Amino acid sequence: MSNAKVQPEGEGVQGEGGRPFRSQVSSAIASNSHLLAKAELYFTAFLSMSDMVSDLVMVARYYRNNEISFALASLICLGLNLTIQSAGVFLTKPLDKQLKEQAIVWTLIKAGVDAHRVATKAQTQEGDAISTRADMTVARVIEMVTESIPGTIIQAMAIVATGDLSVTPVVSLTSSILTSA
């Protein structure tokens, strides 16, 4: 008779502490998954804010180069996004938070603030009509529909129309594409 320990079906190689190696790997992945989720939240917020700033830079560039139709189209998209975001804040936040929350929208940092609130598991505050996660999700959808996707189209049309493949328009277009994805 052999004294070899028989592994139960599916247990696999033993790791430290007698736990199956596969279980240890799963635990390690699970413990780091929240870090990856936070990193994704912050990266997406960074892209969103970068996209809006790069769009403003492009508006100034279009205006300076007398490409008024592209400047106006971009401004309309940005303005529509910010106006709808502002209306969303008005409808979902209590009156005593309006000034602060409106400032967050109009200073273009809402994506970052929302990401931080979700990443730190900030609780929905008393008087808020929707959860912090729902607020972030709705804001991102509004941004994609009113600013990122139309902005991508406008900037691509401007590049084709002008043939300008310099760094600024290409970076701004790339930012819009990544934010839309």
Neighbouring-strand partners of residue 14: 20
Average pLDDT rounded to a whole number, residues 41-59: 94
Provide the residue count of the chain: 181
Q: How far apart are CA 169 and CA 29, in angstroms?
A: 39
pLDDT at 57: 96
Q: Is a pLDDT exceeding 70 seen at residue 14?
A: no
pLDDT (average), residues 67-94: 97
φ and ψ at residue 20, rounded to 5 degrees? -60, 140
Average pLDDT over residues 31-58: 89
Residue found under tokens 């200073």: 107
Give kind and range of the element (H or E) at residue 101.
helix 98-106
- Nearest CA to 173 out of 159, 161, 78, 162 is that of 159
164 against 10, higher pLDDT = 164
Confidence of residue 34 (pLDDT cuts 50, 70, 90): confident
* Mean pLDDT on 19-34: 65
Q: What is the pLDDT of residue 18?
A: 56
**Percent share of the chain, pLDDT over 70:** 83
Residue 117 confidence (pLDDT) above 60: yes
Residue 152 has pLDDT above 90, yes or no: yes
Contact 58, 168 (CB under 8 A): yes
Q: Pick the residue with more confidence: 14 or 76?
A: 76
